Each structure stands twice: as structure tokens, then as C-alpha cells.
């Protein structure tokens, strides 16, 4: 009998500009079993952002309706806008054995932790606060006011690193990506994630395929 292990839920947080989005993009390009949950937000799209790809860009009333309908796994107000993880799909993808990334803020991550203690919680740190500021400026996506709001919040956000399972400093991008890949690879080898019958099926010669597909 062929069995499928449940996918790993990977929650990635960190201050704005730390490089979460850049790291996730690399992971998606390199690993076809990793999926990114597309969040909903009430913030305006940045230049080049596409509805349904980067975010579902919703009007506030539509976002609130979805909250009422219990359509979010979690939601939070972040830097003055609402963000939420649509519930449909995440469970389905995990059940299908797909690894799912939630790139969400700390409030959202803590809510997810209440229901998915088996999730892997990774905090991305910048190499320094000055570098963090330079990265947000370089991205060119924020007004002066939004930049300062995000930068000031970073000092508070960094205090929450202890709530996460792993901390990765994003200094050199390739190194940071490879550390996240190693974390995911190690988590997938944890005995408590592997279905007992998968191990017991080894006599049918399927064990390698089942553990590593």
C-alpha cells in the first residue's frame, strides 16, 4: 500500500526588509514540492505585484466579510493594513503531502502555532539594523512614513525571535536560502513526522520512495 506523508507547514516571519520574500522566491524556484500560500491584504499593490500571485488585493469590506465567514486561518493588522491567510487550500495541500510556506507577521505566526504546533517556525534576521534600513530603501516600495513605521517596528519584532524554532540571518542570500533548505530537510526526516506504516512498509521495498518523494 502506498502512503503519503503529510506536508510540512513552514512559517516564515521577520522584520520588513529582512529578505523573507526574496528567500521564499528562491525556495519556490528550486523546489517543486514547496508551495506558497497567497495571502489576502487590504494594502495597495506595489508596482509589478499581481492579484492572485503576490496577494489577493481586497477592499476592506471584502476582507472583513471573509473574516466573518471564518475564511482565514489567521489574520492580523500589520503596518496599518489587514493581512490574512485564506484557510481553503492550506489544509488540502498539506494533506496531499505538499510543503506549504506561510510568509506572515509575528501576530499571525503565534496564532498559527496554537493550532499547528507541528509547524516549523523560522525567523529571518537582517545582518544589522543599518542594512535592514538600506534594504527597505533600496526596494523602493515604501513612502518615507511607511518606511519609518516598518523600521521602528523592526526593533520590537526582533524580540519575538525566541518564539520561533529557528533563526536565520540573511547576510549572503545563497547561504540563508541553503540554511532554510537544511532546516526543511531535517524536519522532513523527523521520525514523528513519518507515518508509522511508511516505516513498516519497508519490506515492500517502498521505503526510500515514500520518505523522499
Interface contacts to ligand ADP, rule CB under 6 A:
14, 16-22, 135, 138-139, 170, 172-173
Q: In angstroms, rounded to a whole number, what is the distance separating the alpha carbons of residues 117 and 124?
A: 19
DSSP state of 202: G
Among 211, 187, 184, residue whose Cα is nearest residue 199: 211
Q: Pairing mode, if any, of strands 166-169 and 81-86? A: unpaired
Give min distance, CB of 94 to ligand ADP, in A: 23
DSSP state of 51: B
Binding mask 87-126 for ligand 5GP (x = CB under 6 A): ----------------xxx-xx------------------
HSE toward the beta carbon, residue 72, CA cutoff 13 A: 25
Q: In angstroms, rounded to a whole number, what is the distance separating the alpha carbons of residues 206 and 3?
A: 10
Q: What are phi and psi of 154, to 5 degrees?
A: -55, -40
Among ligand ADP, ligand 5GP, none, the one that 7 touches (CB under a kind-dependent 5 to 8 A) is none
Q: Which residues contact 130 (CB under 8 A, 6 or more apart)?
A: none
Question: In this chain, which stretch among 2-10, 82-90, 124-132, 174-182 interacts with ligand 5GP, using CB under 6 A?
Answer: 82-90
Give min distance, CB of 141 to ligand 5GP, in A: 7
Q: Is 16 in the site for ligand 5GP (CB under 6 A)?
A: yes
Among ligand 5GP, ligand ADP, none, the one that 138 touches (CB under a kind-dependent 5 to 8 A) is ligand ADP
Binding ligand 5GP by CB under 6 A: which of 19, 63, 85, 90? 85
Enter the C-alpha cell of residue 10.
513552514
Q: Is 83 in the site for ligand 5GP (CB under 6 A)?
A: yes
Q: What are phi and psi of 103, to 5 degrees?
A: -100, 90
Give min distance, CB of 56 to ligand ADP, in A: 17
Number of residues in contact with ligand 5GP under rule CB under 6 A: 16
Nearer to ligand ADP, 41 or 170 (CB): 170
Residues from 177 through 206 that contact ligand 5GP (CB under 6 A): none
Q: Which residues contact 187 (CB under 8 A, 6 or more apart)?
A: 8, 120, 193
Q: Which parts of this chain interact with ligand 5GP (CB under 6 A)? A: 16, 20, 39, 43, 74, 76, 78-79, 83-85, 103-105, 107-108
Amino acid at each position: 500500500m502506498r502512503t503519503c506523508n503529510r506536508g510540512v507547514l513552514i512559517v516564515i516571519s521577520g522584520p520588513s526588509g529582512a529578505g523573507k520574500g526574496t528567500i521564499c522566491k528562491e525556495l519556490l524556484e528550486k523546489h517543486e514540492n514547496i508551495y506558497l500560500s497567497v495571502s489576502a491584504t487590504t494594502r495597495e499593490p506595489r508596482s509589478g505585484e499581481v492579484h492572485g500571485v503576490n496577494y489577493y488585493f481586497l477592499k476592506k469590506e471584502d476582507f472583513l466579510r471573509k473574516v466573518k465567514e471564518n475564511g482565514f486561518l489567521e489574520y492580523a493588522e500589520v503596518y496599518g493594513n489587514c493581512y490574512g491567510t485564506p484557510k481553503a487550500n492550506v489544509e488540502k495541500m498539506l494533506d496531499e503531502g505538499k510543503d506549504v510556506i506561510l510568509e506572515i507577521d509575528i501576530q499571525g505566526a503565534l496564532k498559527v502555532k496554537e493550532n499547528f504546533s507541528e509547524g516549523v517556525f523560522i525567523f529571518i534576521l537582517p545582518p544589522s539594523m543599518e542594512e535592514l534600513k538600506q534594504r527597505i530603501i533600496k526596494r523602493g516600495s515604501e513612502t518615507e512614513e511607511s518606511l519609518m513605521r516598518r523600521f521602528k517596528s523592526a526593533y520590537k519584532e526582533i524580540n519575538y525571535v525566541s518564539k520561533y524554532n529557528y533563526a536565520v540571518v540573511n547576510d549572503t542570500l545563497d547561504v540563508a536560502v541553503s540554511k532554510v533548505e537544511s532546516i526543511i530537510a531535517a524536519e522532513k526526516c523527523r521520525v514523528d513526522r513519518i507515518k508509522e506504516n511508511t516505516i513498516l512498509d519497508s519490506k515492500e521495498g517502498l521505503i526510500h520512495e515514500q520518505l523522499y518523494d
